[in-house]
């Protein structure tokens, strides 16, 4: 992928992370089924593409599905990522196989950790580089 900008994209999109995801898709390294795919984040008011979010594949055998997200730097801090993550979780719960939605953040990525906290995720694990965040399906009742 060249990263060239298209009409309707903010000037600082795609980000490096978006290009990595696009490369993985192009190489068939991540292909989901149904809704478990990457998406563009588009502002309703302007129609501009400002980032990407999505699933890194369908649920695994335990019912866990991983999400990722990223915004153009000019769009951060406006609640857009939290809204996108909430939308991903809502989509995940529509599939009865999904028991847990999780995301990984770098240890020092406080803004991304804030997004996950605001969306209801809890930190459940860590290693020397990353933190694992989860939100668990609540039983019906």
In a domain, 123, yes or no: yes
- 105 in Cβ contact with 133 (< 8 Å): yes
Rounded Cα distance, 46 and 44, in Å:
6
Q: Which helix (H) or strand (E) holds 114?
A: helix 110-118
- Token pair, residue 50, equals 């400002």
Q: What is the pTM of this model?
A: 0.80
Per-run averaged pLDDT (10 residues), the chain, 141 residues:
60 70 55 71 89 90 95 92 96 95 96 97 95 92 63
In a domain, 1, yes or no: no
Task: Give the per-residue pLDDT at 15.
Answer: 72
Assign residue 121 the CATH number of its domain.
3.40.630.30
- 75 in Cβ contact with 15 (< 8 Å): no
Task: Give the per-residue pLDDT at 13.
Answer: 72
In a domain, 6, yes or no: no
In a domain, 66, yes or no: yes
Task: Give the per-residue pLDDT at 23.
Answer: 61
In a domain, 27, yes or no: yes
Task: Give the per-residue pLDDT at 28.
Answer: 53
- 52 in Cβ contact with 41 (< 8 Å): yes
Task: Give the per-residue pLDDT at 10.
Answer: 75
Q: Which domain holds residue 114?
A: 16-136
């Amino acid at each position: 992928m060249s990263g060239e900008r298209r009409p309707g994209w903010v000037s600082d999109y795609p980000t490096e992370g978006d290009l990595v995801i696009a490369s993985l898709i192009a190489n068939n390294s991540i292909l989901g089924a149904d809704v478990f795919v990457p998406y563009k984040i588009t502002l309703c008011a302007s129609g501009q593409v400002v980032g990407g979010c999505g699933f890194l594949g369908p649920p695994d055998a335990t019912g866990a599905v991983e999400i990722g997200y990223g915004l153009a730097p000019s769009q951060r801090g406006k609640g857009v990522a939290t809204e996108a993550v909430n939308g991903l979780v809502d989509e995940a719960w529509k599939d009865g196989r999904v028991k847990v939605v999780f995301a990984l953040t770098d240890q020092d990525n406080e803004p991304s950790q804030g997004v996950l906290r605001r969306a209801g995720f809890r930190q459940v694990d860590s290693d020397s580089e990353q933190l694992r965040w989860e939100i668990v399906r609540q039983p019906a009742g």
